[in-house]
Amino acid sequence: MQKRKLGKSNLEVSALGLGCMGMSFSYGPPKDKREMTSLLRAALERGITFFDTAEVYGPFLNEELVGEALAPFHGQVVIATKFGFDLSPDSDPRGMKGAPGLNSRPGHITEAVEGSLKRLKVETIDLLYQHRVDPDVPIEDVAGAVKELIQQGKVKHFGLSEAGVQTIRRAHTVQPVTALQSEYSLWTRTPEKEVIPTLEELGIGLVPYSPLGKGFLTGKIDENAQFDSSDFRSTLPRFTPEALKANQALIDLLGSMAERKKATPAQIALAWLLAQKPWIVPIPGTTKLDRLDENIGAVSIELTPDDLRDINEAASKITVQGARYPEKLEQMTGR
């Protein structure tokens, strides 16, 4: 497995990470713990060293799963987690339907980190993201709180998720930001306008989540797809039958390039991301070993400048239909 560095931080990780959320949260009921433990260890055996979780996934279940599965391999892995939601008993984060409130007050960050350290069974969190920007807490206070945790040896690197460029700049002046985690793929290209140039300027890595469009870019989902109410996608405007039908043009584009490269649409979608910048590390999630192997295969696919130009020309003629989140969740992004 190739390695990449996240920005100027010298945090070196596998070129592809593993998003662990779906093992415990958002995509139906939590999966079997033993099976998921085997999958996490299989990923490590195949060279994946970068694992992504968060306290809100479950809540707490996913950190516990990742912590137990990877406990024997400390020193060989980089585990990223996130704080920033209010998980007090009266808020209901399960399934994110009601979306819990935000809380990035410095005292809450400290509490969240203590909980994450225990569940992950580590003495130091490798990469700690603010999950969503809290408009009620100045980002300088958030960065300052994380800086203190870094000085105490409880955290190594600071990250932001779905933050806007002004927030990134302000945070970076207080505590250097190692990585930004935001949705980025062929069907969500918003970061290209302002965010990616800013990250390049400041030397910050980009960790695209949902690099396969929550499964859509695999080519396995069409307008007839049925999503259970426990599946987060049942709430997303982009997953209505009309939007899925309209967006099939993207699958056709990936499919034709996949034929050219003797690959799958998912592999082309990931290879395209990897080709954008050397400091981009996508974190596709999966709960299946064959999908894990398929995703890893993307790392060895080389898209030539001609291939990339063909993809961009075709993609520029496609207008993606449907917002990526319901309004309340959309408002939490880009702040």
The string of pLDDT tens digits covering residues 303-312 is 999 999 999 9
Cβ(66)–Cβ(40) below 8 Å: yes
Identify the helix (H) or strand (E) that includes residue 35. helix 33-45
Percent of the chain that is helix, strand, coil (3-state, to 5): 45, 15, 40
Q: Rounded to two decimals, what is the model's pTM?
A: 0.96
CA distance 62 to 33: 10
59-85 confidence digits (pLDDT tens): 999 999 999 999 999 999 999 999 999
**Structural domain spans, the chain:** 3-213+276-301
Q: 59: cis peptide before it, omega within 30°?
A: yes
Residue 29's identity, in one-letter code, is P
Q: Give me the chain's average pLDDT, please.
A: 95
pLDDT score for 107: 97
Active site residues: 57
pLDDT score for 99: 64
Cβ(211)–Cβ(191) below 8 Å: no
Cβ(16)–Cβ(284) below 8 Å: yes
CA distance 74 to 82: 19
Cβ(15)–Cβ(281) below 8 Å: yes
The tokens describing 181, both together, are 């985690």
268-278 confidence digits (pLDDT tens): 999 999 999 99
pLDDT score for 266: 98
pLDDT score for 194: 98
Position 96 pLDDT exceeds 90: no
Position 334 pLDDT exceeds 90: yes
Q: What is the mean pLDDT of residues 141-159?
A: 98
Q: What is the mean pLDDT of residues 125-143?
A: 98
State the Cα torsion 38-41-47-53 to the nearest 10°. Answer: 100
Cβ(248)–Cβ(213) below 8 Å: no
State the Cα torsion 36-39-41-46 to the nearest 10°. Answer: -160
pLDDT score for 280: 98
CA distance 62 to 53: 6
Select from 3.60.15.10, 1.20.210.10, 2.40.50.100, 3.20.20.100 the CATH code of 3-213+276-301: 3.20.20.100
